[in-house]
């Protein structure tokens, strides 16, 4: 398939984890693993070569990816496979630890391609079904990590932009909007301009301290626009809307330009797993530094503001039922807006009556880990003989591996130990990733 | 209940020597004194009944000591001790009982006197419990055990500086669908643990009759979450999501939040005290104009005594959920 080559090339530039399998990718699939390795290799090469401006993967020397996979004493590939997995996961932790300012209050419009090209079966079962499935997972994860964010959905179908879901802070609303498959049946050609304009207009009223983002999942290779799409691009730049594109077919110049000029990310999905990776890379809040750089230096107001928020009282299940303002249903439980005393079903949201932003204090706390992450652990390179090394992982009490692995890479400990710089406790690679990805606090020092 | 895998229970023991000493002292304020040893004997009966419910049930016990956290017992990694055969005891029960008692005594003996002043490492124990669960789920082919839960037996009051780490571990438990049950055996109500139980769908019990500890444990915490839907287990009814402002620690229902660091203020301020961000003057004017309650526009009021009584009275009779994150935490 011709677009595939292109996609491979894209992978180098997009800096993404090329086809590193997800955790839920079965361990038994050694084929997938060797592909992952190939991806690793290619990426490392690509980084080096990118500086020399070598444009194409097929001009790079041939990587004998299978030779790096070695059997252990028992003749099993299991250890190699686990090592590759650990390496892939750990790479995410090696991001720069410098202080960055992240946008906490996000507004995102998800632009779904609903054109005929989405019925292509190169991704199983079809691009369309896969997109819907991943979009659902994306929405759940996005709201989990961005509790104060709001999301809307716009579809591109038959040359029109179609509003599928209004901007909402409730994941259930958004999920419900894309749950009915038959209403989203693909048809016709997509129009990037129409749908971006629609997304832009629905975000034009938003305050400056919040981020405005558009995420396009694009499966087509064409766009049919009524006017000049570069005008739309300019207005996106002017409105500081960040456009990110996950393409399913191949790179298009206009998509790449949209992302580059607005500070978004662009990537072409190689396969199903890579598609998910690309999508989920957009879940954590973007840094604001990137935004200002992309939008030019002419911004006098450093996107900071004071916001008025209301902290509601939650009514217990046993309280007398009353009508809620959002659905007009009789309900016992709910939240009371502190300003107008209206009863709202869900928090966080905007009060339907007085427009006050309603949040509960746990929602604010949920965002704190983006602002103050756990410091990365250092990989223990050798076991000091003088020091009595801990026999087991400090977190899960599992004994550390006794053998030393031969293939040590960047940031990968040959003895499988990772040490917290604050409390000097040692952790296994599984716990290291779990602590940094999920728990966000160190079991040793509690920070 | 028909799941062949049984349910997993992690128990977190708060082993603060000072608090247990206070708990054991009979005084007018402490009508039902409870010593650590009688607590342990009741707890062991509870643990045995959990193991007795089903053969596949698994158990892990963690201790939160001042400044450190330890694993006291884990059924996936049982200690290798030679036991004397006793005709009157069931060996698995005896293993748990003797290990827990021995380990608690060991750890308590190891404590130095100055260490007792440190806050207990509840966060460490909680994250360890989560990491162990993750590892157990790896053993079972990346599947979480059904109904995993954590029971926290706490005697210490809230420690304000650990607010963020505690909340982070609560959110990760929520993400892993782990239920957190809390039993406050001694001391004041803890708002952080109340939030933990609320957010993960567990139950929070503040023990009034400490002599009935075992009954409370068995009636409310023995059934796994799937069965609790049928039973009537005590839950919290009033939950107040109001927050305390960072500037005066007053409870506010409408607050002003910095968009950069999410600090909460009770009135519009020109500069964020936490991250030193300056706010545009236009916003200040707009917010001052639209404040819900008329008050002086000056932003340098140090006290909010001038607030109308309606707010103050509302603040007092509710349980407060305060993100009392101290400012030094941000440094």
Q: What is the ipTM of this complex?
A: 0.76
- Sorting pLDDT into bands at 50, 70 and 90, what band is A9? very low
**Bigger pLDDT: B169 vs A28:** B169
Q: Is A300 on the interface with B (CB under 8 A)?
A: no
A141 exposed, middle or buried (CB, 10 Å; 0-12, 13-18, 19+)?
middle
Is A157 contained in some domain? yes
- The token duo for B282 is 């236009």
CA nearest to A59, candidates A68, A50, A67: A50
- The token duo for B154 is 């706490």
* Chain A neighbors of B120, CB-CB under 8 A: none
How many C-beta atoms lie closer than 10 Å to residue A55's C-beta? 11
How many CB pairs below 8 Å do chains A and B form together?
A: 190
In chain A, how many domains are there?
A: 3
Closest CB from B124, B238, B321 relative to A444? B124
pLDDT at B55 (0 to 100): 86
Is A45 contained in some domain? no
Q: Which of residues 344-403 of A touch B (CB under 8 A)?
A: 347, 356, 360-362, 364-369, 371-372, 393-398
Q: Is the pLDDT of residue A226 over 60?
A: yes
Is B283–A395 a contact, with Cβ atoms under 8 angstroms apart? no
pLDDT at A232 (0 to 100): 93
Distance (Å, whole) CA B170 – CA B198: 10
Is B138–A430 a contact, with Cβ atoms under 8 angstroms apart? yes
Distance (Å, whole) CA A379 – CA A427: 10
- The token duo for A430 is 């599984």
Is A130 contained in some domain? yes
Is A6 contained in some domain? no
Is A181 contained in some domain? yes
pLDDT at B323 (0 to 100): 40
Distance (Å, whole) CA B63 – CA B121: 9
Q: Contact B257/B236 with Cβ under 8 angstroms? A: no
C-alpha count within 13 angstroms, C-beta hemisphere, residue A59: 10
How many C-beta atoms lie closer than 10 Å to residue B154's C-beta? 24
Same domain membership, residue A268 and residue A138 = yes
Give the minimum alpha-carbon distance from B88 to chain A in angstroms, rounded to a whole number: 32
Q: Is A338 on the interface with B (CB under 8 A)?
A: yes
Same domain membership, residue A164 and residue A249 = yes
Closest CB from A366, A396, A438 relative to B132? A396
Q: Contact A118/A124 with Cβ under 8 angstroms? A: no
Q: Contact B145/B3 with Cβ under 8 angstroms? A: no
Q: Is the pLDDT of residue A196 over 90?
A: yes
The helix-helix angle for A30-51 and A78-91 (nearest 10°) equals: 40
Q: Please state, for a pLDDT cut of 70, what percent of chain A lies above it.
A: 70
Same domain membership, residue A115 and residue A246 = yes
Same domain membership, residue A182 and residue A124 = yes
Q: Is the pLDDT of residue A269 over 80?
A: yes
Q: Please give the distance of CA A46 from its chain centroid, rounded to a whole number.
A: 23
**Bigger pLDDT: A37 vs B4:** B4
Same domain membership, residue A249 and residue A153 = yes
**Bigger pLDDT: B167 vs A85:** B167
pLDDT at A203 (0 to 100): 87
Question: To probe the interface with B, which of A25, A26, A397, A442 has the most B CB atoms within 10 Å?
Answer: A397
Q: Is the pTM of this model over 0.90?
A: no
Q: Which residue on chain A is closest to B270 by alpha carbon? A: A306
Domain end, chosen from A305, A339, A369, is at A369
**Pairing between strand A160-168 and A241-247?**
unpaired
Is B135–A304 a contact, with Cβ atoms under 8 angstroms apart? no
B46 exposed, middle or buried (CB, 10 Å; 0-12, 13-18, 19+)?
buried
Same domain membership, residue A397 and residue A365 = no
* Chain B neighbors of A358, CB-CB under 8 A: none
CA nearest to B65, candidates B105, B22, B10, B25: B105
Q: Contact A342/A334 with Cβ under 8 angstroms? A: no
Q: Contact B191/B149 with Cβ under 8 angstroms? A: no
The residue segments making up the domain with residue A163 are 100-281
- H or E element in which residue A10 lies: helix A2-14
Q: Please give the distance of CA A199 from its chain centroid, rounded to a whole number.
A: 20
- For residue B322, the 8-state DSSP code is -
Distance (Å, whole) CA B126 – CA B331: 24
Contacts 24+ apart (CB under 8 A), B44-50: B44/B96, B44/B97, B44/B100, B44/B101, B45/B214, B46/B214, B46/B217, B46/B218, B46/B221, B46/B222, B47/B11, B47/B96, B47/B97, B47/B100, B48/B93, B48/B96, B48/B97, B49/B218, B49/B222, B50/B9, B50/B222
- H or E element in which residue A368 lies: helix A368-371
Is A239 contained in some domain? yes
Sequence-separated (6 or more) residues with CB below 8 Å from residue B319? B189, B191, B194, B238, B239, B240
- The token duo for B313 is 């009275």
Same domain membership, residue A360 and residue A402 = no
Give the minimum alpha-carbon distance from A284 to chain B in angstroms, rounded to a whole number: 15
- Walk along chain B (331 residues) in steps of 10 and give the mean pLDDT of each run: 74 91 86 90 94 89 89 83 77 89 90 73 90 80 76 87 83 88 88 84 86 90 85 69 71 80 82 79 82 46 38 37 37 32
Q: Which residue on chain B is closest to A348 by alpha carbon? A: B241
Is A306–B283 a contact, with Cβ atoms under 8 angstroms apart? yes
Closest CB from B124, B253, B258 relative to A443? B124
Q: Please state, for a pLDDT cut of 90, what percent of chain A lies above it.
A: 27
Q: Is A47 on the interface with B (CB under 8 A)?
A: no
Q: Where are the domains of chain B?
A: 8-229, 243-290
A185 exposed, middle or buried (CB, 10 Å; 0-12, 13-18, 19+)?
exposed
Same domain membership, residue A207 and residue A126 = yes
Backbone phi, psi, residue B188, to 5°: -75, 170
Q: Hunting for tokens 């077919």 — which residue is that?
A: A249
Q: Which residue on chain B is closest to A441 by alpha carbon? A: B165
Same domain membership, residue A318 and residue A256 = no
Question: To probe the interface with B, which of A100, A142, A147, A306 has the most B CB atoms within 10 Å?
Answer: A306
Sequence-separated (6 or more) residues with CB below 8 Å from residue B320? B191, B240, B242, B244, B251
Is A430–B171 a contact, with Cβ atoms under 8 angstroms apart? no
C-alpha count within 13 angstroms, C-beta hemisphere, residue B144: 15
The helix-helix angle for B36-53 and B17-24 (nearest 10°) equals: 100
Is A72 contained in some domain? no
Q: Which residue on chain A is closest to B131 by alpha carbon? A: A396
CA nearest to A408, candidates A387, A382, A427, A390: A382
* Chain A neighbors of B243, CB-CB under 8 A: 311, 361, 364
Is A306–B134 a contact, with Cβ atoms under 8 angstroms apart? no
CATH architecture assignment, domain B8-229 = 3-Layer(aba) Sandwich (3.40)
Q: Which residue on chain A is closest to B237 by alpha carbon? A: A316
* Chain B neighbors of A24, CB-CB under 8 A: 142
**Pairing between strand A211-218 and A330-331?**
unpaired
Closest CB from B74, B237, B239 relative to A318? B237
pLDDT in tens, A368-405: 777 777 888 887 877 765 456 778 888 888 888 777 66
Is B168–A312 a contact, with Cβ atoms under 8 angstroms apart? no
Is B162–A446 a contact, with Cβ atoms under 8 angstroms apart? yes
Per-residue burial over A236-255, b if 16 or more Cβ lie within 10 Å, else e, is bbeebbbbbbbbbbbbbebb
What CATH number is given to the structural domain containing A116?
3.40.50.410
* Chain A neighbors of B124, CB-CB under 8 A: 443-446
- State whether residue A170 is helix, strand or coil: coil
- State whether residue A58 is helix, strand or coil: helix
Closest CB from B132, B168, B280 relative to A441? B168
Give the minimum alpha-carbon distance from A260 to chain B in angstroms, rounded to a whole number: 25
Sequence-separated (6 or more) residues with CB below 8 Å from residue A106? A146, A148, A149, A150, A210, A211, A213, A285
Q: Which residue on chain B is closest to A144 by alpha carbon? A: B175
Same domain membership, residue A341 and residue A392 = no
Q: Contact A42/A67 with Cβ under 8 angstroms? A: no
Give the minimum alpha-carbon distance from B23 to chain A in angstroms, rounded to a whole number: 26
CA nearest to A446, candidates B69, B12, B330: B69
- The token duo for B55 is 């053969």
Of the candidate ranges A74-83, A152-161, B192-201, B289-298, the one whose mean pLDDT is the lowest: B289-298
Distance (Å, whole) CA A220 – CA A222: 6
- H or E element in which residue A140 lies: helix A127-145
Same domain membership, residue A161 and residue A247 = yes
Same domain membership, residue A264 and residue A246 = yes
Is A38 contained in some domain? no
Calculate ∠ Cα B47-A444-B63, nearest 5°.
Answer: 20
Give the minimum alpha-carbon distance from A399 to chain B in angstroms, rounded to a whole number: 10
- Taking residues A424-447, what's their average pLDDT? 83
* Chain B neighbors of A314, CB-CB under 8 A: 238-241
DSSP string, B24-47: HS-BTTBSS---HHHHHHHHHHHH
Q: Which residue on chain A is closest to B240 by alpha carbon? A: A313
How many C-beta atoms lie closer than 10 Å to residue A390's C-beta? 15
Question: To probe the interface with A, which of B129, B257, B320 has the most A CB atoms within 10 Å?
Answer: B257
Q: Is the pLDDT of residue A199 over 90?
A: yes
Distance (Å, whole) CA B247 – CA B269: 10
Closest CB from A210, A339, A439 relative to B169? A439
Is B259–A307 a contact, with Cβ atoms under 8 angstroms apart? yes
């Amino acid at each position: 398939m011709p677009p595939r080559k292109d996609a491979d090339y894209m992978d180098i530039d997009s800096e993404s984890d090329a086809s590193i399998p997800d955790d839920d990718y079965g361990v038994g699939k050694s084929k997938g693993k060797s592909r992952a390795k190939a991806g690793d290799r290619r990426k490392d090469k690509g980084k080096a070569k990118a500086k020399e401006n070598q444009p194409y993967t097929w001009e790079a020397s041939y990587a004998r990816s299978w030779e790096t996979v070695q059997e252990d004493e028992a003749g099993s590939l299991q250890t190699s496979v686990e090592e590759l997995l650990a390496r892939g996961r750990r790479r995410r932790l090696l991001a720069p630890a410098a202080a960055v300012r992240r946008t906490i209050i996000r507004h995102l419009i998800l632009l779904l391609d609903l054109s005929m090209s989405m019925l292509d079966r190169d991704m199983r079962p079809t691009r369309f079904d896969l997109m819907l499935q991943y979009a659902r997972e994306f929405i759940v994860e996005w709201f989990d990590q961005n509790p104060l964010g709001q999301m809307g959905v716009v579809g591109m179908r038959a040359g029109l932009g179609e509003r599928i879901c209004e901007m909402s802070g409730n994941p259930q609303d958004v999920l419900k909007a894309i749950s009915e498959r038959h209403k989203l049946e693909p048809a016709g050609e997509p129009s990037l301009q129409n749908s971006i304009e629609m997304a832009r207009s629905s975000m034009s009223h938003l305050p400056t301290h919040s981020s405005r983002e558009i995420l396009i999942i694009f499966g087509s290779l064409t766009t049919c626009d009524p006017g000049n799409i570069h005008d739309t691009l300019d207005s996106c730049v002017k409105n500081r809307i960040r456009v990110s594109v996950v393409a399913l077919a191949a790179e298009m110049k206009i998509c790449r330009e949209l992302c580059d000029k607005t500070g978004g990310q662009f990537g072409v999905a190689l396969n199903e797993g890579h598609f998910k990776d690309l999508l989920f890379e957009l879940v954590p809040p973007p840094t604001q530094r990137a935004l200002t750089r992309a939008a030019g230096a002419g911004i006098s107001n450093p996107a900071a503001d004071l916001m008025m928020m209301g902290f509601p009282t939650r009514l217990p299940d046993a309280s007398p039922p009353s009508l809620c303002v959002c659905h007009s249903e009789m309900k016992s439980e709910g939240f009371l807006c502190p300003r107008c005393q209206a009863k709202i079903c869900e928090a966080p949201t905007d009060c339907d009556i007085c427009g006050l932003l309603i949040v509960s204090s746990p929602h604010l706390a949920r965002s704190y880990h983006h602002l103050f992450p756990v410091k990365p652990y250092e990989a223990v390179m050798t076991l000091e003989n003088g020091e009595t090394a801990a026999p087991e992982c400090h977190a899960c009490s599992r004994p550390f591996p006794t053998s030393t692995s031969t293939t040590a890479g960047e940031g990968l400990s040959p003895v499988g130990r990772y040490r917290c710089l604050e409390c000097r406790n040692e952790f296994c690679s599984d716990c290291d990733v779990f602590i940094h990805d999920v728990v966000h606090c160190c079991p040793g020092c509690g920070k | 209940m028909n799941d062949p895998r049984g349910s997993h229970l992690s128990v977190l023991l708060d082993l603060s020597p000072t608090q247990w000493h206070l708990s054991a002292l009979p005084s007018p304020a402490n009508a039902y004194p409870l010593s650590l040893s009688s607590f342990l004997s009741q707890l062991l009966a509870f643990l045995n009944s959990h193991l007795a419910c089903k053969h596949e049930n698994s158990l892990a016990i963690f201790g939160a000591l001042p400044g450190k956290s330890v694993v006291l017992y884990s059924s996936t990694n049982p200690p290798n001790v030679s036991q004397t055969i006793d005709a009157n005891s069931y060996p698995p029960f005896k293993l748990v009982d003797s290990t827990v008692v021995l380990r608690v005594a060991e750890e308590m003996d190891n404590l130095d006197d100055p260490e007792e002043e440190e806050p207990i490492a509840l966060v460490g124990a909680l994250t360890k419990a989560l990491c162990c669960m993750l590892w157990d789920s790896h053993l079972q082919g990346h599947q979480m055990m059904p109904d995993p839960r954590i029971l926290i037996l706490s005697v210490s009051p809230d420690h304000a500086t650990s607010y963020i780490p505690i909340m982070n571990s609560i959110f990760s438990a929520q993400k892993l669908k782990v239920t957190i049950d809390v039993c406050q055996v001694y001391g004041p109500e803890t708002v952080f643990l109340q939030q933990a139980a609320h957010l993960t769908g567990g139950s929070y019990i503040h023990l009034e009759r400490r002599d009935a500890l075992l009954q409370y444990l068995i009636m409310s915490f023995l059934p796994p979450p799937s069965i609790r839907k049928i039973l009537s287990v005590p839950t919290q009814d009033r939950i107040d999501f109001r927050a305390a402002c960072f500037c005066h620690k007053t409870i506010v229902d409408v607050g002003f939040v910095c968009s950069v660091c999410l600090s909460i203020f009770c009135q519009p301020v020109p500069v964020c005290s936490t991250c030193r961000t300056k706010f545009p003057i236009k916003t200040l004017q707009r917010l001052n104009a639209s404040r819900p309650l008329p008050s002086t526009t000056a932003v340098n009021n140090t006290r909010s005594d001038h607030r109308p009584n309606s707010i103050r009275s509302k603040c007092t009779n509710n349980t407060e959920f305060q993100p009392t994150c101290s400012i030094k935490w941000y440094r």
